Amino acid sequence: MRLVSVGVRPRRAAEPSEPEAGEATEPAHHEHIHPEHHEHSHPEHHPGHDYNHMKDKFMNEISRLSIPMWAVAAIVVLVLVLVACFIFCVFKKCFAKKKKPKKVREGKTGRRRKTKEGEGEAGEKEGEVKKEGEEEEKEQEKLGKLEFSLDYNFTDCQLIVGILQAQDLAAMDMGGTSDPYVKVFLLPDKKKKYETKVQRKNLCPVFNETFIFKIPYAELGGKTLVLQVFDFDRFSKHDEIGEIKIPMNSVDLGQPMQQWRDLESGEKEEQEKLGDVCISLRYVPTAGKLTVNIMEAKNLKKMDVGGLSDPYVKIVLQQNGKRIKKKKTTVKKNTLNPYFNESFSFDVPFEQIQKVQVVITVYDYDKLGSNDPIGKTFMGYGATGVGLRHWSDMLANPRRPVAQWHTLLPEEEVDAALKAKPR
């Protein structure tokens, strides 16, 4: 009996397990249905639903507007194109900025290498260029040479300078020639200047001219003899070919000397300002009377040791190089800005007025020695610039005084213009 009861108990114990399993399955089935019911009662939020809702709302708004659909489409396309272009530009700039520094770095490193390599070559080339430039300058400085002689007469206290000849002078004219002449003077005073005759169209001229400076031997040591070779030009300023400077303290004047020396390029100095003179001209054709009034002068060159001058004016009426009449003003002491207001009359017939010249020279009066010219100018036949204009204004305004300021020029320059035939 015990065995049977023991065998039945397990079976009874197992039996109730089946309904339990059934009960467990039923709730599981019931639980599975419950979530489905919950999903239907509370649906999830889908983004597609919002997009459709927004689209419908947008289309409803557009349908209310009076704009046709093709215009809306065109606007949308245009906006899309602009957005695409903007994105492309931004992308291109960003892409370029990222790549550019690499190229720049490569370029900089390459340049540095090239410059380092090129510095050595440049240094060598500069050295060659300098050598070539020096050789060219030496060639250009070949202006010719001049033969001269020096002697001193101790009895008469005279320095005798001989200008003998020149060779291989530089060509200054268009035709490949020059019209040379030589100026001779002593520095620093320049009071006395000599000139040789002009040798026309000749690069190897022979002068054979002698000039004498009267100067005590004791004063000669502080002087410098200057020999300047110029190319004569009839219608413009004479061009300097070259010069020779001889300090007299370096020359042994115990015996005559004669030598050749190469010409050197002269220092280009600004033309020395000599001053200005105011002149009034008046011509009466019926009476044949020319009146020249020397009114005043200003900024005259200092000629005396004290830094002043004793100026006066000399007026010469000439024709064909011959003096017809000359007059002069009074001397104004110790001034560089003298006031004269002095008139001078000349008889000039009407048929001769176009052929005469009025030459004005301002001098510095010297009691002991010769009077030194400060500067010169002229009007009338052959004049140019201010001199010609002043003369023309006088003839155009008969019986009326016409005043004009004239700039004083070096005496030799005006003399050369007076000798030249007008064009």
| pLDDT > 90? residue 332 | yes
- Retrieve residue 99's tokens: 């790549």
Q: Which residues have C-beta within 8 Å of that of residue 415, sequence separation ≥ 6? A: 376
pLDDT digits (tens, 9 = 90+) for 103-126: 444 444 444 444 445 555 555 555
Between 13-27, 65-79, 103-117, the lowest mean confidence (pLDDT) is in: 13-27
Q: 264: which strand partners?
A: 243
Q: Residue 299: which pLDDT band, with cuts at 50, 70 and 90?
A: very high
User: Global pTM?
Assistant: 0.43
Read off the pLDDT band of 26 (50, 70, 90): very low
pLDDT tens readout for residues 168-213: 998 888 788 889 999 999 887 766 788 899 898 899 999 999 999 9
Interval 57-83 mean pLDDT: 76
Categorize the per-residue pLDDT at 390 as very low, low, confident or very high, splitting at 50, 70 and 90: very high
pLDDT at 405 over 70: yes
pLDDT at 39 over 50: no
Please give the sequence-ordered ranges of beta strands (E in DSSP) within 188-247, or none if there are none: 193-195, 206-214, 224-231, 239-247
Tell me what pLDDT residue 187 has: 84
The residue type found at 280 is: S
Tokens 């939020």 belong to residue: 45
**In terms of Cα–Cα distance, which of 325, 324, 294 is closest to 312?**
294
CA distances from 122 to 107, 128, 136, 137 (A): 21, 10, 20, 22
Ranked by mean pLDDT, which of 96-105, 216-225, 387-396 comes out on top? 387-396
